[in-house]
Amino acid sequence: MDTHQTTSLSYLLRLWPTGTAGRQVWRASLEHVQTGERLGFASLEQLFVFLIQQTERDDPAQDAQPKA
């Protein structure tokens, strides 16, 4: 019997541009599908850091809070 359990994460991703004085910045939010928890990100870089942290964890569902 295989004791290895596959874990997956499901998020609804929202992206929108903001900006002033000709400088556009993309904002993002993730909504965890299973829990409904929403996380906001001031930049795409912050979003990517969070996703990398989640996919490098032994159990990504264990903690869905951003570390940044």
Residues 26-48 have pLDDT tens digits of 999 999 999 999 999 999 999 99
Residue 48 is assigned to a structural domain of this protein = yes
Q: Mention every residue, 6+ apart, whose C-beta is less than 8 A from residue 57.
A: 63
pTM, two decimals, is: 0.70
- SS3 at position 43: coil
Average confidence (pLDDT) over 1-21: 78
Chain-centroid distance of CA 54 in Å reads 8
Identity at 64, one-letter amino acid code: A
Mean pLDDT of 2-24: 81
What domain count does the chain have? 1
In a domain, 68, yes or no: no
Residue pair 52/44 in contact (Cβ under 8 Å)? The answer is no
Predicted local confidence at residue 6, as pLDDT: 55
In a domain, 2, yes or no: no
Domain enclosing residue 19, as ranges: 11-57
**Within a domain: residue 64?**
no
